[in-house]
Amino acid sequence: MSKDAHPSGESVGLRHRAEKHLESLAAKTNHPPSAAQMERLLHELQVHQIELEMQNQELIESRVGMETALERYTELYDFAPIGYFTLSAEGTIREVNLPGARFLGIERGRLIGDHFKTFVSGCTRPIFDSWFKEVFSTQNKPVCVISLLKKDQSRLVVELNATLSLDGREGRVVAVDITARKAMEEQLQQAQKMEVVGQLAGGVAHDFNNILAAMILNLEMLQLQHELPAEARSSLVDLEALAKRGASLTQQLLLFSRQQAMHLEHLEINAAVADLLKMLERLLGENITCHQLSDKQKLWIEADRVMLDQTVMNICLNARDAMPNGGVLTLEASLVEVTPEIAPMYPESRTGQFVCLRISDTGCGMSTDVLKHLFEPFFTTKEIGKGTGLGLASVYGMIHQHKGWINVESAVEQGTTFRLYFPLLLKTEAPQAEIPRIPSIEKQNGTILLVEDEQALLLMSTRALKMFGYRVLSASNGEEAFKLWEQHQADIDLMVTDMRMPRGMSGLELAEKIWKTNPSFKVIIMSGYSMEIVRDSALGESTYTFLAKPFNLQVLAETVQQCLNADMQKEV
């Protein structure tokens, strides 16, 4: 018998149901069903059967899809780096994911039923209360930033965002950990604040430098008067010493503001620190044990030796004051590779190879509040009269002026560690130092164009130059000076000009204007600021001589004489 001769069980079942249905219909109508009716009904049942099977398959696939979606949701809910909280209108925690529980440092099951507010830091509770009320009272989606207090009492800064459930009875709260971001923002704000303070300090130091320069010149010229009594001469010496002390303070302000004139040289940092420690050991005292750690690797940097010594000394003397009963001071230089992954952790850093000078003490340490203000000028924790508050401010300026940065780690009763980062200089041997020739000061001839906006300094510098035998043409700004140049250029041998002046023309711009008509004209530029400002000239520094403020008679006379006598100008 062929395969078709044996209908399947499914077909037999359908036919049997069809026959039953037709028999029931025939009993009601008293007409037996025809074969055609029988076949049509059977076909309809088969189609219906297929439809049911397709619907059943769709239900199975839908269930599998829902299970997959539920699994995916569970993974996202419990393993996303974001805390999810479901809160009642009263603030009770009804549901929380695993990251949310980790934010608080408590098991998820133990959080259900607790009030979310109990984990909000006290200082930010008013912010949370106002925000949570707004969540349930408006259609807005407010955002707020609060601090959460973890089980171990550490704090976590989180950003909260929320929406209401469809029935309006629950708040769906998303918590994002922004602790690291806030810390970086605070560091950046501190750096920006220090930049503004530095600009202010530099401006104050500039004006003060002019006043001090005039005072020092005046006092030295008075001391040259032979008829002065001994008592008056002694007082003048004391006044000069005080003026120079004030000049030293302005140098610290300029160092903080990164505007002090620098004299860079190639230094091997281990050798430089070792030389300084020989002197420091006497200043630190017998109860301070000082260690210098080194792996004998030569680490070269380009730095101003005086600034470097002053910076290390300021930090070490502060460390001494933090260890009144004795302690250990450790200095260590090492090579550090700053990678793109590390650099973003410190706003002022950058990638590359750097020399890190670590200075650690075992002293009393500093609080977080003190650390925030550590490098601000005139900020000090010392008693009145025992500190100017400029030591660490100058450290901050010095390290940035050397294109580096500084990090400080400290905690109360846990000591302090300073890390100073300098760009690595690829050098293997020390350069041969040149021995400068100091010319004798004699009566000179020549005409000098002197330009200075500070009237007291202009007057005293004019007197001093005339005393040395020069003819002096004086101007208080660039416009006046250029008019004098146009009238007397055939007679003028040298121009001595301040860098910063009023009326929009700097000393360098004035010089460049003159060089257009006389490229070989000799110029001395005076400034209390860094040579980096003067080096902005497109003509380069070989066309002028630099004179740092404040200066005394000896330096002024030698600089002018060297400039007039030199075939090629060099920076003094």
* Mean pLDDT, residues 28-37 taken together: 65
**Cα-to-chain-centroid distance, residue 269:** 24
pLDDT of residue 145 exceeding 50, the answer is yes
Q: What is residue 63's predicted lDDT score, i.e. its pLDDT?
A: 75
Task: Kindly indicate the confidence band of residue 274, based on its pLDDT and cuts at 50, 70 and 90.
Answer: confident
Which superfamily, per CATH, for 80-177?
Answer: PAS domain (3.30.450.20)
Q: End-to-end CA distance of the chain, in Å?
A: 121
Share of the chain above pLDDT 70, in %: 73
pLDDT in tens, 425-443: 886 554 444 433 333 445 6
pLDDT band at 250 (very low <50, low <70, confident <90, very high): low
Class of 447-565 in CATH: alpha beta
Residues sharing a CB contact under 8 Å with residue 455, sequence separation 6 or more, in sequence order: 476
Sheet containing 352-361: give its strands across. 288-293, 327-338, 352-361, 416-423, 405-410
Lowest-confidence segment of 13-22, 371-380, 541-550 by average pLDDT: 13-22
Q: What digits encode the pLDDT tens for the residues 200-224? A: 666 666 677 777 777 777 777 777 7
Write 10-13 long-range contacts (CB < 8 A, 24+).
10/49
Residue 568 has pLDDT above 70, yes or no: no
Fold observed for domain 264-423: Heat Shock Protein 90 (3.30.565)
pLDDT of 413 over the 80 cut: yes
pLDDT at residue 524 in the model: 93
The continuous run of DSSP H or E covering 63 comes out as helix 35-79
Band (174; pLDDT cuts 50, 70, 90): confident
Helix, strand, or coil here: 484?
A: helix
Token pair in block for residue 18: 């069809």
pLDDT at 427: 60
Q: What does the alpha-carbon distance between residue 394 and residue 315 come to, in Å, rounded to a whole number?
A: 11
* Contacts of residue 448, Cβ cutoff 8 Å, sequence gap at least 6: 465, 470, 471, 472, 473, 492, 493, 494, 495, 496, 560
Give dist(CA 88, CA 68) in Å, integer.
29
- Between CA 206 and CA 390 the distance in angstroms is 16
Residue 3: its pLDDT value, please? 44
> By the 8 A CB rule, do 494 and 564 touch?
yes
Q: 452: Cβ–Cβ under 8 A, 6 or more apart, which residues? A: 210, 458, 461, 474, 476, 497, 498, 501, 526
**pTM of the predicted structure, to 2 decimals:** 0.42
Task: Encode pLDDT of 439-450 as tens digits.
Answer: 344 567 889 999
Range name among 30-39, 132-141, 248-257, 476-485 with the lowest pLDDT average: 248-257
Strand partners, 233: none
Q: Is 57 exposed, middle or buried (0-12, 13-18, 19+ CB in 10 A)?
A: exposed
Q: At 465, list the tokens.
A: 């130059």
Could you tell me what percent of the chain has a pLDDT over 90? 12
What pLDDT is stored for residue 443 in this prediction? 62
Q: Facing residues of 157 across strands?
A: 147
CB contact at 8 A, 455 and 476: yes
448: left (phi over 0), alpha (psi -120 to 50) or beta: beta
The Cα–Cα gap between 349 and 347 comes to: 6
- pLDDT-based confidence at residue 329 (cuts at 50, 70, 90): very high
Specify the pLDDT at position 440. Answer: 45
| Mean pLDDT, range 320-332, rounded to an integer | 89
480/487 Cα distance (integer angstroms): 11
Nearest Cα residue to 311 out of 388, 372, 354, 256: 256
According to the per-residue pLDDT averaged within each range, which of 167-171, 258-262, 304-308, 486-490 is highest? 486-490
Share the mean pLDDT of the chain: 77
* Cβ pair 318, 281 in contact under 8 A: no
